[in-house]
A and B are shown apart, each in its own frame.
Chain A
Amino acid sequence: MSDVLVEGRRLGRSYRRGKTEVAALADVDVTVHAGDRIAVVGPSGGGKSTLLQLMGGLDVPTYGRIVWPALGERSSLRPGKIGYVFQTESLLAPLSVLENVELPLLLAGELRTAARLRAREVMERLGLEAILEKLPEELSGGQAQRVAMARALAASPRLILADEPTGRLDHPTAHCLFDVILGALTADDTALVVATHDMAIAELLPVQWRISHGRLEET
């Protein structure tokens, strides 16, 4: 049995909006093993992003328990063990593409020369070597998301959480991006959890979790 990266039991997360309590997640059980390829699908506002944020340690559940047996404590998950891809426009505008990609390595305490070397390597793997010195505002939407994926991969995490990475891309570009992502992960046991509302993208992955009104059902 491969390592358990994330294990959540009876997870619930609710937010207060004015006087109303909104339940974004309710009694969700999740387990992610090394090498898993999981798509979390469901309508917008169904709880996909909230689940990914809990799994990434960005947020804490209102109730229930979540642990990262093979990764360690919550405070040490990012950037070294979990890579996170946001929906769009998550590149830091004042930094070049290369600087954006090496940033998680620097945040993890890598030396600058080693970080730069690793960032270049990942970018070459994703076919991004031509845009190393560009600024985020000079990139197309597809390029920006590929750079964001490269940034998530740079620190060689055990788990990548991608929140609607193709949400604002057209179908051909989205498929192309996904091919690149999967290609980059082919030979290793990095787990990938992708939140998407696009079933065509979700079907590229072997496991789909359907989440609706905060409740999870595995398909």
Chain B
Amino acid sequence: MGQIAAWLKGTLLHQFGRVMGAALGVALTVAFIASLGAFMTTSAAQLTRRAVHDVPVDWQVQIAPGADAASVRSRIESRTTVCRLERVDYASVDGFRARTGGTVQTTGAGKAVGIGDHYFHSFPAELRQLVGATHGLLVAQQLAANLHVTVGDTLEILRVGLPPAKVRVNGVVDLPYADSFFQAVGVTAGLAPQAPPDNVVILPEALWDSLFRQQQRISPDSIQTQFHLRLGLSLPGDPTAAYDKVNREVKKTEARIAGAAIVADNLGTRLLAVRADALYAQVLFLFLGLPGMILAVLLTLAGAASGGQRRAAEQALLRTRGASPARVLRIQASEAVIVGIGGLVVGAALTLAASRWLGTEVWDLLRYGPGWIVFASIVGLVLSPAAVVIPAWRESRRSTVLSARRMVKPSSAPLWRRLWLDAIVLAIGAVEFWRTASTGYAVVLAPEGVAASSVNYEAFIAPVCLWLGGVLLSARLLGVGLSRGRRALSRLLSPLARSLSGAVAGSLSRRKGLMTRGTVMVALAVAFAASTAVFDATYNAQSRVDAELTNGSDVTVTGTTAAPPSAKLAELRSIPGVAAVQPMQHRFAYVGNDLQDLFGIDPLTIGEATKISNAFFAGGNSREMLAALTRMDDGVLVSEETRVTYQLNPGNPLNLRLQSAKDLQYHTVKFHVVGVVREFPTAPKDSFLVVNSSYLARETATAGAETVLMRVMGDRNAVARRARAVVTDLPGVKVTDLGSVQRAISSSLTAVSLQGLTRLELAFAVLLAAGAAGLILGLGLLERQKMFAILKGLGANARQLGAFLWSEALFMLVPGIIIGGLLGLGVAQVLVKILTGIFDPPPETLTIPWLYLAILCIAAFASTVAAVVTLRIYSRCRVLETLRGL
């Protein structure tokens, strides 16, 4: 024990820099794994929390006709963790009537809903107060508009089979979640009408009872009773696991209330919907995060292994002083444990800092990240002893001089090289890539309404093969180059090493294993950083394209046919900062029985206010396609889906049914297909049509444009504000700007995860690249301090010593950056192709973040320079000390 303590004390006193270097490597790995893993789980948990929070009512339990509601309630409350439970009664009514301003307005069928006094408090999101009280009789906004009633007015409820009931309006409310509030519980999706009723009144429970208990007896089918529940479940962070838990709870509850009620699981439905997002985030983590983690582990191992020569010498010394192999191993392991513990402490601090930087709360980190923190700690604790003890154990087995001599005989090429594993792996990767990319597969499959979801892990084969094959091929080429290219290397180095170039080339060539490992590590770090950066830049570019497509232009004004914003075109055009304004009609047309979005444009000028990309059109030529539409007055561009469904080709006639402003009836209008359009500003992603606005205006008897696209030179927010002021008197008109749309798009877990992941990875990648270039070189060169002392002893001057150092550094750095850059681009290309589902729309080309790549190269170069300069200073200081040991 005393010997171990003395050894450790000596190591810390005299080898502090080396121990710190190794500990930093471990710290970096621990921090990277912990912060990345914790970030991913925390993001997923935040998404789950957000999804759960957005659900206004977790469950709607509908009581079967004739069942005892009180009994159902007690059965639910007896086992399920319920926070809030409110009874809601629904009565179908024939309509509503009101007399205002000397006229009588009567609506169609509607619903009268009875709620308890606490409903507003229990489920505040379901009802939004607009005017008047929040109790008494509340009228839905649409019904209030239809009947022209407001607070204080009287309306009649046209009950089924009973005389109308007169009630007084106490307030007007909005029902933001009308879809789920009025959903058809227990009916297979698609079989029941999905649209919520327009005409709705909300009544206090007692009033509802007095008005509709009799109707229940006359027409039982017109009355339904539900319990609305907020659950008190503690849900896991992962949406899929959360869904599973909720689903189990549903099954348990349904078993208890079988025959008496059925459950509409709004919470489960919401969680199902976010699974795909969570799975994509998981895929991103595997594609982009895992390689970084493996790289960090490799780097730490390489850093620790670079001290092998020193440890072998120390081991030999300890053995000659009588230490048993087991004691030697214990001594060396104790040093590794110190490195591991030091790495953990620094790693924990780095993790905390990284998490704060990513905006993760400490509480969330501790709640959702302990698994990753523990895993990273185990990796850190295992890593350094493994890197030190295993080589030491191997060394201890080479116990005789004879066996040691055998080691220096030129060994044959490694097995993978003899088997051409690099070529085989690359070929497999290429075939797999071609197969997956050409068959229209989806890496994530999470169909709506289906509980099962899956990730196509086969898609990982291509990038993994590219990584592995690329690295092995690089190692082969570097090895061959160093073995057979000594002359060329000598010539390359001659400007730097002059007459010593041959000796330097020889030195590099004979240490080809070390040199190749170093270069490959640099290449891996650069490839990792480059692939992540290119992928992220491409994603961001496509997000912008997506936002442009969704919003249509920098600022977009959207209205209705009744109140088209084109009426204010001149005023919108005159807003300062507006570069161009274009009206665009947005109507609906029947193609057969399908109702599709129809856009009427002026093909000659539409491009002034919005970006029309070649990628929007089949054939890839926007100019040609718009010119063709201009030439054909009744021309129509159809979506790919429409073309396939209706077997359409350019020139074919296409009859559309359009609503005419004259009689508000749909009439058939003849068009001719001009071509296929894939995307269009503000258009939906599936089916839509694009036609000439002049022809559309003529055929529908109205020239108003429901959309106005505005291109802005300057502050979009300011223009949007001014535009809102211009159209404020047009009912139902909305103004959106590109920035807010982009922010909305970037709020998905995929986007959030990618942002955090890449932010973290790009920062760590710079450290990893710098570490690979500097740490390995520095630690490797420390092992060769003796070599520099000898050179100094032989009379080498500073320039000549520098030639050895710089040649080595440049050999690792320059090919490392070139190979890494190429590999990174290749991997990014494969990732973009494989993860096409993440991109909307898919990119035509990669976006290269030149600034980041330049920073990366500078970091690697600076780290190398720092390592070389430090080593030169260190070697100069210790020449005599080292020489005395010779």
Tell me if B510 is interfacial: C-beta within 8 Å of chain A: yes
Pick the contact of A84: B793, B879, B880 (CB < 8 A).
Answer: B793
Decide: B794 and A84 in contact? CB cutoff 8 A: yes
The A-contacting residues of B in range 778-818, CB under 8 angstroms, are: 787, 790-791, 793-797, 800
Given A95-B510, A107-B500, A138-B408: A87 in contact with B795 (beta carbons within 8 A): no
When chains A and B are docked, how far (Å) is the Cα of A92 from the Cα of B800? Answer: 15
Decide: A79 and B794 in contact? CB cutoff 8 A: yes
The interface bits of chain A over 86-101 (1 if a CB of B lies within 8 angstroms of the residue's CB, else 0) are: 1111111111100100
How many A residues touch the partner, as a band? 35 or more
Decide: A80 and B880 in contact? CB cutoff 8 A: no
Decide: A86 and B883 in contact? CB cutoff 8 A: yes
Tell me if B50 is interfacial: C-beta within 8 Å of chain A: no
Decide: B790 and A86 in contact? CB cutoff 8 A: yes
Tell me if A190 is interfacial: C-beta within 8 Å of chain B: no
When chains A and B are docked, how far (Å) is the Cα of A115 from the Cα of B508? Answer: 20
Tell me if A130 is interfacial: C-beta within 8 Å of chain B: no
Decide: B794 and A49 in contact? CB cutoff 8 A: no
Tell me if B15 is interfacial: C-beta within 8 Å of chain A: no
The B-contacting residues of A in range 80-124, CB under 8 angstroms, are: 80, 84, 86-96, 99, 102-104, 106-112, 115
B500, B507, B794, B883 interface centre (most CB from chain A within 10 Å): B794
Residues of B close to A108: CB separation below 8 A: 795
When chains A and B are docked, how far (Å) is the Cα of A92 from the Cα of B794? Answer: 11
Decide: A86 and B510 in contact? CB cutoff 8 A: no
The interface bits of chain B over 867-886 (1 if a CB of A lies within 8 angstroms of the residue's CB, else 0) are: 00000000000011001101
Tell me if A135 is interfacial: C-beta within 8 Å of chain B: yes
Given A53-B883, A79-B794, A137-B408: A95 in contact with B500 (beta carbons within 8 A): no
When chains A and B are docked, how far (Å) is the Cα of A110 from the Cα of B500? Answer: 10
When chains A and B are docked, how far (Å) is the Cα of A103 from the Cα of B884? Answer: 21
Decide: B506 and A58 in contact? CB cutoff 8 A: no
The interface on chain B, measured as residues whose beta carbon lies within 8 A of the other chain's beta carbons, has a size of 24
Tell me if B511 is interfacial: C-beta within 8 Å of chain A: yes
Decide: A58 and B500 in contact? CB cutoff 8 A: no
Decide: B787 and A92 in contact? CB cutoff 8 A: yes
Tally A-B pairs: CB < 8 A: 78
Nearest chain B residue, comparing its CB with the CB of A108: B795
Pick the contact of B506: A99, A107, A109, A115 (CB < 8 A).
Answer: A99
Residues of B close to A26: CB separation below 8 A: none
Decide: B500 and A106 in contact? CB cutoff 8 A: yes
When chains A and B are docked, how far (Å) is the Cα of A79 from the Cα of B795? Answer: 5
The minimal Cβ–Cβ distance linking A74 to chain B, given in whole angstroms, is 11
The interface bits of chain A over 29-72 (1 if a CB of B lies within 8 angstroms of the residue's CB, else 0) are: 00000000000000000000100010000110000000000000
Residues of B close to A102: CB separation below 8 A: 503
Tell me if B621 is interfacial: C-beta within 8 Å of chain A: no
Residues of A close to B728: CB separation below 8 A: none
The minimal Cβ–Cβ distance linking A12 to chain B, given in whole angstroms, is 16
Tell me if A146 is interfacial: C-beta within 8 Å of chain B: no
When chains A and B are docked, how far (Å) is the Cα of A155 from the Cα of B455? Answer: 70
Decide: B795 and A77 in contact? CB cutoff 8 A: yes
Decide: A107 and B510 in contact? CB cutoff 8 A: no
Tell me if B214 is interfacial: C-beta within 8 Å of chain A: no
Residues of A close to B502: CB separation below 8 A: 99, 106, 112
Nearest 8 Cβ contacts at the A-B interface: A78-B795, A79-B795, A94-B510, A86-B886, A94-B507, A137-B408, A106-B499, A94-B511
What are 21 inter-chain pairs, A to B, with CB distance below 8 A? A53-B880, A53-B883, A58-B880, A59-B880, A77-B795, A78-B793, A79-B794, A79-B795, A84-B793, A86-B790, A86-B886, A90-B793, A95-B503, A99-B503, A102-B503, A104-B794, A107-B795, A107-B797, A112-B502, A138-B408, A163-B886
Interface set of B (CB-CB < 8 Å, partner A):
408, 499-500, 502-503, 506-508, 510-511, 787, 790-791, 793-797, 800, 879-880, 883-884, 886
